[in-house]
Amino acid sequence: MAGRPGWPVLLLCHGYFKSVAEPFGLACELNRLGYQVLLIDFRACGLSDGRFTTLGYREVLDLLGAVDYLRARLGDLPIGVLGISMGAVAAIMAAAECSHIKAMVVDSAYADLESALGKKLADYLRLPFLVPLGWVSIRLGEWISQGNVAAVRAVDYAGRLAPRPLLIIYGERDDYLPSGHPRRLFDAANEPKELWLAPGSGHAMARLDHPREYVQRVQAFFGRHLLSA
């Protein structure tokens, strides 16, 4: 979406098995404010090719490819990234490797994928003896998709983002992730950093439960850190 000439570019990244439809409404709001916006479908999602998702491991490459595309098309305009859930994890891990990403908003990122999957297995497989079988299926999925669950650790990359600014968003009632993930990620990051716990919201639901405040916070954050870049 073309914005005002010379304005920063925002790259919006969806969550697990979603598509550009997930952040599309937000993209339109930010574009109306003047930002240039690019939405991408990660591999095996939406209209993108591919058979398997890797929950952030290889999606980092998709995001870095999108940054290269933007730079080839638009030059050195400041780039901000907003990611949701899996997209937030990919944003953190990609930004740690890419200095062209100048500011990040990460919504409902899992601090590490392994403990997040462990919680989901315990939630869904009520009988404890079934949990090891769940892990066997995950290991099989890793082998088929060429993924690596243990390597998807946003918490290990967050400290490498500074001095670039980071806005971390979680739903106050996110029961999808282990309860310690917001604090772990926030503590791992260095200043400048901000944390918003959206009242009453579940996983990746803050933008729907608090649409006006969500856009205001995101716009104010990118305005402070990108418009003056």
Domains of the chain: 9-111+155-223 (3.40.50.1820)
Mean pLDDT over residues 92-113, rounded? 98
Q: pLDDT by residue (tens digit) across 136-163?
A: 988 999 999 999 999 999 999 999 999 9
- Per-residue pLDDT at 13: 98
C-alpha torsion sign, points 196, 96, 103, 229: positive
Q: Is the pLDDT of residue 229 over 70?
A: no
Q: Is the pLDDT of residue 204 over 90?
A: yes
Q: Is the pLDDT of residue 16 over 80?
A: yes
For the chain, what is the mean pLDDT? 95
Q: Rounded distance, CA 221 to CA 194, Å?
A: 9
Mean pLDDT over residues 20-26, rounded? 97
Q: Rounded distance, CA 203 to CA 154, Å?
A: 17
C-alpha torsion sign, points 126, 132, 136, 141: positive
